[in-house]
Amino acid sequence: MDNELLKELYNEYKRLLFSLAYQMTGSVSDAEDVIQDVFAQLSAYDLKHQKNMKGFLCKLVTNRCLDLIKSARKKRELYVGTWLPEPLIVEEDPLYEISIESDVSLALLLLFEKLTPTQRAIFILREVLEFDYKTISEIVKKEESTCRKIFSRSKNSLPNIEELSTPKDIDEHEKVIKQFIGAFQKGNVNQIIDILQHDIVYYADGGGKTVAALRPIVGIERVMKLLESLMHKGWKEDFKISIGKVNGNTGIIIKDLQGLQGVVGFNVKGDKINEIYFIVNPDKLKVN
């Protein structure tokens, strides 16, 4: 294939393809590898008469992701502790534009884990990327009617999907998270309790490589005990805590002299935090 054409295709579709691959795998590094693999394979195809280039490229990416998911699920059985998606981290910079077609929350990515690989592909292609069923049918190699049924069943099986798929009130989300950070730094327990939902869930992902809770912690009382413990221990003197974007929403970035050490993402419902995602697995920490 002509190198110039390859470059044009990459520049035109890389954001869309990365978005698809990231949502399919929940991994930034895997998504990047998928895109590299797909474009490396394109030289073997005659694309001059390809009528639907977008659909063709998405088909290649989807197939590669389905293979990855199957092997990843076997590895996941041996994963130490809670598995969380690899976060998209952007440090505060008003001039930076994140290179993803649409921001996808950690909460939504976790919900995708409940779906089979094929269900996940059809759901993302339809609900998030808004492909028509004819194109989806060609990508996943199933009848249009079958794709419609799979999508409908998948959507019905995911609680609160409409809420998680709809863009949040960004200003309200940021306000709540800044209140949380301020209260935590001051050790103001009562103020923290006021902004946590009663059924809050705390997830931590250390991957067995860093100390982290092995199972989700559920309920305001248990989560507060953990937060109070962290407050009493204090932070290392060389820790720097800053605000950044974690999957498009306001989150916390933790660094020391060696670099990025942790990321905290949040899911906010109304004016209260209902989920906290603490990611300290070094394999998943990368500023984009």
Closest residue by Cα to residue 223 from 180, 178, 253, 179: 180
Question: What average pLDDT score do residues 81-93 get?
Answer: 83
Domain covering 3-165, topology: Butyryl-CoA Dehydrogenase, subunit A; domain 3 (1.20.140)
- Work out the angle between the directed axes of helices 28-41 and 3-25 (0-180°, nearest 10): 150
Residue 103 has a pLDDT of 64
Q: Classify strands 217-218 and 240-246 as parallel, antiparallel or unpaired.
A: unpaired
Question: What average pLDDT score do residues 241-254 get?
Answer: 88
- The yes-or-no verdict on residue 152 having pLDDT over 50 is yes
What token pair was written down for 20? Answer: 């698809």
The reply to whether CATH 3.10.450.50 applies to domain 170-284 is yes
Q: How many CA atoms lie within 13 A of 186 on its CB side?
A: 11
Residue 60 has a pLDDT of 95
Q: Where in the chain is the domain with CATH 1.20.140.160?
A: 3-165
- The yes-or-no verdict on residue 93 having pLDDT over 50 is no
Measured CA to CA, the distance from residue 178 to residue 170 in angstroms comes to 12
Residue 52 has a pLDDT of 87
Percent of the chain, pLDDT > 70? 88
Q: Where in the chain is the domain with CATH 3.10.450.50?
A: 170-284
Measured CA to CA, the distance from residue 251 to residue 246 in angstroms comes to 5
pTM of the model: 0.85
Q: Are 6 and 42 spatial neighbours (Cβ–Cβ below 8 Å)?
A: yes
Residue 95 has a pLDDT of 35
pLDDT single digits (tens) 204-245: 999 999 989 999 999 999 999 998 887 766 555 567 888 888
Q: Are 260 and 210 spatial neighbours (Cβ–Cβ below 8 Å)?
A: no
Q: Are 113 and 12 spatial neighbours (Cβ–Cβ below 8 Å)?
A: no
